[in-house]
């Protein structure tokens, strides 16, 4: 028996997923304030791979930009991008959820994989609501429609694999 359309995995190679695995901070105050900060980053930041936190907001990559956005709101450990789901899953303030796209809220983090990369997690984006995300790519910091994000990225379907994954560039912590 095949799964119902709403239960079918939406993480394969389709461009418009119906469900996403997100990380949501339970005690994030005024997440809508993040939207303004995203707009500022879009105007200021230029992309630099492996940017340092000290360089933000003028220079950022996807992880540095997310770290910058949460800097005064919640402690967010900066590490290799592939290790972030594992680190967040160990913190009491963050929960991972599988939700319909329409339930995305400002501040939800999405960990993704470039379709061409062998690594399990290569990118992070932050939801601004059910239709838009903020992320920083080689094009710079941008706010775009979530469907556009999924023309380049997919999301790993297995949360267990995502939170146990160790980025091969890290020292295994």
- State the CATH number of the domain containing residue 69: 3.90.1720.10
**Nearest-angstrom CA–CA distance, 114 and 63:** 15
Percentage of the chain modeled with pLDDT above 90: 36
Residue 6 lies in a domain: no
Residue 82 lies in a domain: yes
Q: Assess contact for 136 and 65: CB atoms under 8 A.
A: yes
Residue 89 lies in a domain: yes
Q: What is the pLDDT of residues 94-124, one digit of tens each?
A: 999 999 999 999 999 999 999 999 889 999 9
Give the bridge partners for 96, in sequence order: 23
Which among 86, 56, 52, 88 is positioned nearest to 69, based on CA atoms?
56
pTM score of the predicted model: 0.84
Range of the domain at 122: 30-164
Number of domains the chain contains: 1
Q: Assess contact for 112 and 121: CB atoms under 8 A.
A: yes
**Nearest-angstrom CA–CA distance, 50 and 63:** 8
Render the burial of 131-140: b for 16+ CB within 10 Å, e for the rest: ebbbbbbeee
166, 113, 141, 20 alpha-carbon torsion, rounded to 10°: -100
Q: What is the pLDDT of residues 71-91, one digit of tens each?
A: 767 766 667 888 889 888 888
Residue 156 lies in a domain: yes
Give the position of tokens 């949360």: 159
25, 26, 27, 29 alpha-carbon torsion, rounded to 10°: 70
């Amino acid at each position: 028996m095949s799964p119902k359309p709403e239960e079918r995995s939406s993480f394969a190679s389709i461009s418009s997923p119906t469900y996403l695995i997100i990380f949501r901070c339970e005690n994030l105050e005024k997440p809508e304030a993040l939207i303004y900060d995203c707009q500022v980053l879009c105007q200021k930041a230029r992309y630099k791979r492996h940017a340092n936190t000290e360089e933000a907001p003028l220079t950022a990559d996807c992880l540095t930009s997310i770290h910058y956005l949460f800097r005064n709101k919640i402690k967010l450990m900066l590490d290799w991008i592939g290790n972030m789901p594992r680190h967040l899953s160990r913190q009491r303030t963050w929960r991972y959820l599988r939700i319909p796209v329409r339930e995305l809220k400002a501040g939800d983090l999405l960990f993704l994989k470039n379709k061409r990369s062998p690594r399990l997690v290569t990118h992070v984006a932050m939801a601004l609501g059910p239709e838009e995300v903020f992320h920083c790519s080689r094009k710079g910091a941008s706010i775009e429609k979530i469907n556009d994000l999924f023309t380049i990225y997919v999301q790993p379907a297995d949360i267990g694999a995502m939170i146990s994954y160790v980025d091969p560039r890290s020292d295994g912590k």
